[in-house]
Chain A
Amino acid sequence: MEGVYFNIDNGYIEGIVRGYRNGLLTGNQYINLTQCETLEDLKLQLSSTDYGNFLSSVPPESLTTSVIQEQASDKLYQEFNYIRDQSSGITKTFLDYITYGYMIDNVALMITGTIHDRDKAEILPRCHPLGWFDTLPTLTVATDLESLYETVLVDTPLAPYFRDCFNRADELDDLNIEIIRNKLYKAYLQDFYNFVSRKTDEPAREIMQTLLGFEADRRSINISLNSLQSADIDPELKGELMPDLGQLYPVATSQLAQASEFEAVSAAVNSVYEYRGILESGNLEDHLYKLEMELCRDAFTQQFTVSTIWSWMKSKEQEVRNITWIAECIAQNQRERINNYISVY
């Protein structure tokens, strides 16, 4: 019966999102893109898709892969902001939750930029637009975390996530900022998961729980693998950074935290059916992207859910990555490796 009342507040939004979803590039369109000789050809091919003339204001001599990536991303952000402006109630809170992830990245970026002696004017344009909040520029006065929290961060939506970040009274350096970022993200994912479990109806609840669980698993695997390269992170700290949700939690997560070599990580990951073999062949990130895209594609089979917004966003981000990759291969003249993108639609 979930469909009866959903459309009153969210019918327009879901309609728009499904329209955006239908505009996502298909396999054939990607093949056309891979056959372009130059970036100008690529621009021409993209003009016949939903992207339209998004590069029309860029002169041919300044057409680079980073310009293409920026313009394509800007289009995504405009579409997201349009949807957010139309939403209300639970849907609006859901969209706000999506932006908190980007806010965490922006906070980490500002603090890192400050300790790297970078000028505020240089770092601010690099912040993610969807994670912008008004007091973000004031984070450049980064002396230590407690004072930052008390002066700036306590008034932001990220305030509750700082609960476990004050245990280590260390100075802010690259590694500690990474640790703080991962702790914030863990708290954010848990909070998002609780929100989705309590406030959304089926089938959105089930789909979002799966998608958020996958995100948590991805982070756990990456933390475990990357920390093999560095001896500064002990198993107890690793366990504090890995989220308490997903298919790997609790058994495989504790094994991953204790793992000190690649085989142990591989064994822990292989204990989950869906992730079996992803560490054996090919690149881990590519396998995880493929899994994510399949989950997102399947999420669209359900009607009257807010999970379509999350799925569309992730699919669109992947599409921007694919287009940037194809543009990069054309620019570098590496045509034999141009087909290394993920296309599920």
Chain B
Amino acid sequence: MTKDMMNDDSYIGLLKLLAKYDLLLEQFQKSMADGFYNLGRANYHNKDSLRGRYGMDYWDRSYEGQLVADIDGRGDVNITKREIIDTENEEKSEASNSQIRRRNRGDNEEKKKKFKQTDPLSMFGGSLTAPMSLRQSQSNFKSGIPLMVELINCKNSIHQLVKTIGED
């Protein structure tokens, strides 16, 4: 009898997790759909007359990511913002050794490089021309990130529970 009750609890727990997964998926779907809708609208508002739409063509290859995903033993994910680390590198650049990435303004120049939090939106037209719909698209997609984390963790819990029930 006790073992049956424990099994019932497991199944009830499984059902609750599945219901939670379903709800999260629906919310995630909505935020992605809204994000793509606003992205389409931003393309409509892209008055910059540049050919092409907001996408891979605008990417900054030297951009450093802002978020870090920590994955533990079970596969659970936790996404956090990267810490701001102030590192200053002083270099003296010479005109004869210039490369494209270094912008030389003569001898004895100091170049400071530090990781700072830059909004990725600055890649897509800069702060003066990005339309409001692009910002909305960004916040839609951003709101999907915690949902993604919850979905992965929920899925792991479901697998775990199914495995436990199967072993009984």
Chain B contacts for A227, CB-based, 8 A: 127-128
Other A-B pairs beyond A105-B49, A229-B127, A241-B128, 13, CB < 8 Å: A69-B53, A116-B60, A144-B104, A174-B122, A175-B122, A178-B125, A178-B127, A182-B128, A222-B128, A227-B127, A283-B133, A285-B45, A329-B40
5 contacts between A and B (CB under 8 A): A125-B51, A174-B122, A226-B127, A227-B128, A324-B43
Give the CA-CA distance A142 to B45 in the complex, in Å: 29
User: Is A20 in contact with chain B by the CB < 8 A criterion?
Assistant: no
Of B14-22, B95-103, B154-162, the one touching chain A = B95-103
Give the CA-CA distance A302 to B87 in the complex, in Å: 63
B44 contacts A105, CB within 8 Å? no
| 318-345 of chain A: CB within 8 A of chain B | 321, 324-325, 328-329, 332, 334, 337, 340
A226 contacts B130, CB within 8 Å? yes
**How big is the A interface, by class?**
35 or more
A177 with B128, Cβ < 8 A, contacts A69-B53, A118-B61, A285-B45 known:
no
Chain B contacts for A283, CB-based, 8 A: 41, 45, 132-133
User: Is B163 in contact with chain A by the CB < 8 A criterion?
Assistant: no
User: Is A203 in contact with chain B by the CB < 8 A criterion?
Assistant: no
User: Is B105 in contact with chain A by the CB < 8 A criterion?
Assistant: yes
Chain A contacts for B47, CB-based, 8 A: 285
| 12-44 of chain A: CB within 8 A of chain B | none
User: Is B62 in contact with chain A by the CB < 8 A criterion?
Assistant: yes
Q: How far is the CB of A12 from chain B (nearest CB, A)?
A: 27
Chain A contacts for B130, CB-based, 8 A: 226
Chain A contacts for B100, CB-based, 8 A: 114, 140-143
B128 contacts A178, CB within 8 Å? yes
User: Is A236 in contact with chain B by the CB < 8 A criterion?
Assistant: no
Give the CA-CA distance A225 to B51 in the complex, in Å: 24
Give the CA-CA distance A144 to B104 in the complex, in Å: 8
User: Is A235 in contact with chain B by the CB < 8 A criterion?
Assistant: no
Chain A contacts for B50, CB-based, 8 A: 105, 109, 126, 128
B129 contacts A222, CB within 8 Å? yes
**How big is the B interface, by class?**
35 or more
Q: How far is the CB of B44 from chain A (nearest CB, A)?
A: 5
0/1 string, B17-29, CB within 8 A of A gives 1: 0000000000000
User: Is B59 in contact with chain A by the CB < 8 A criterion?
Assistant: yes
User: Is A223 in contact with chain B by the CB < 8 A criterion?
Assistant: yes
Give the CA-CA distance A282 to B48 in the complex, in Å: 21
B126 contacts A143, CB within 8 Å? no
User: Is A117 in contact with chain B by the CB < 8 A criterion?
Assistant: yes
Give the CA-CA distance A319 to B10 in the complex, in Å: 59
User: Is A171 in contact with chain B by the CB < 8 A criterion?
Assistant: yes
Contact of A226 (CB < 8 Å), options: B36, B62, B129: B129
B49 contacts A102, CB within 8 Å? yes
The residue in chain B whose Cβ has the minimal distance to the Cβ of A333 is B33
Chain A contacts for B62, CB-based, 8 A: 115-117
Give the CA-CA distance A334 to B52 in the complex, in Å: 22
Give the CA-CA distance A332 to B43 in the complex, in Å: 14
Give the CA-CA distance A116 to B104 in the complex, in Å: 17
0/1 string, B122-151, CB within 8 A of A gives 1: 110111111111010000000000000000
The residue in chain B whose Cβ has the minimal distance to the Cβ of A101 is B49
A332 contacts B33, CB within 8 Å? yes
B53 contacts A178, CB within 8 Å? no
